[in-house]
Amino acid sequence: MENAMSEAYQGLLEIDRIIHEPARLLLVTILSAVQEADFLYLLTTTGLTKGNLSSHLTRLEQAEYLVQEKSFVGKTPRTVCRLTPAGQAALASYRQQMGAVIGE
Amino acid sequence: MENAMSEAYQGLLEIDRIIHEPARLLLVTILSAVQEADFLYLLTTTGLTKGNLSSHLTRLEQAEYLVQEKSFVGKTPRTVCRLTPAGQAALASYRQQMGAVIGE
DNA sequence: TATACCGGTTTGCAACACAAACCAGTTTGT
DNA sequence: ACAAACTGGTTTGTGTTGCAAACCGGTATA
């Protein structure tokens, strides 16, 4: 039983760090709920600074967990973000792993 | 509902980083199950390197989440670790917060 | 007397989360 | 018309920290 335990929990050491970071977990959790959100919406709902938000979005984009689509609304720029299937899968997997550790 | 959501999840940004770190979450999870464990037991069950294990234990000790009691068994040193009440409380609180986010 | 092990700790470094400074463009004030 | 302030972000600088490797005092082995 102790062996079973340690094997079940050791997965923690390989958990997805991209998602595990609290700010990004917050972002992907929000995005998984609303499908689509722009920079300013994420800025106010998360309370992150602009710099932080920008860099976390970039990191998630590099991981191909989300896409940022840049456009103009009238004359002001607008960035809208959406999770990719890979991002949704990564979040689902993370939830499952963490659920096993903290939960039941 | 979106407001309720964002408020519920924003706590993520203040989550306890001491516990949140995977290696330490693994350690406190194990310790919460077995009450007491020595360095070598933790070394083999976690698969951490000695250096890593040592520094994470030190960090948890500084946070007063665990105590390390050093003694000698015959002529070889032995370090046994046990969670403090504060440590148990911190883990319980962490589980609750993360459970709320990942949805159990 | 080396040599290798034991039970750890300390050191060195690359990664990174964060905030502050910055930037191109637009609107507002005078 | 010109400057100042605002908008929607990005880039830069820095302190922290997670990690592995080197190290350390002691003990058993050859």
Per-residue pLDDT band at A1 (split at 50, 70, 90) = very low
Does the CB of A4 have a partner CB in chain B at under 8 Å? no
This prediction's pTM: 0.93
Q: Region B77-89: what's the mean pLDDT?
A: 96
Domain extent at residue A63: 2-102
Query: How does pLDDT run across A42-96, given as a tens digit for each residue?
Result: 999 999 999 999 999 999 999 999 999 999 999 999 999 999 999 999 999 999 9
Q: Region A3-24: what's the mean pLDDT?
A: 86
Question: Got the DSSP string for B22-38?
Answer: HHHHHHHHHHHHHSEEE
Q: Which residue has the tokens 């499908």?
A: A35
Q: Quick one: CA dihedral A103, B1, B2, B7, positive or negative? A: negative
| In the predicted structure, residue B2 carries a pLDDT above the cut 70 | no
Q: Which two tokens stand for residue A42?
A: 């994420």
- Residue B96 and residue A52: Cα distance in Å, rounded? 26
Task: Please state the domain count of chain A.
Answer: 1
Q: What is the CATH number of the domain that holds A32?
A: 1.10.10.10
User: Is A57 in contact with A66 (CB distance < 8 Å)?
Assistant: yes
- Residue A71 and residue B43: Cα distance in Å, rounded? 52
The answer to whether some atom of strand D lies closer than 7 Å to the beta carbon of B85 is no
- Residue B71 and residue A58: Cα distance in Å, rounded? 50
User: Is A42 in contact with A29 (CB distance < 8 Å)?
Assistant: no
Please report residues of B whose CB lies closer than 8 A to that of A30.
5-6, 9
Does the CB of A80 have a partner CB in chain B at under 8 Å? no
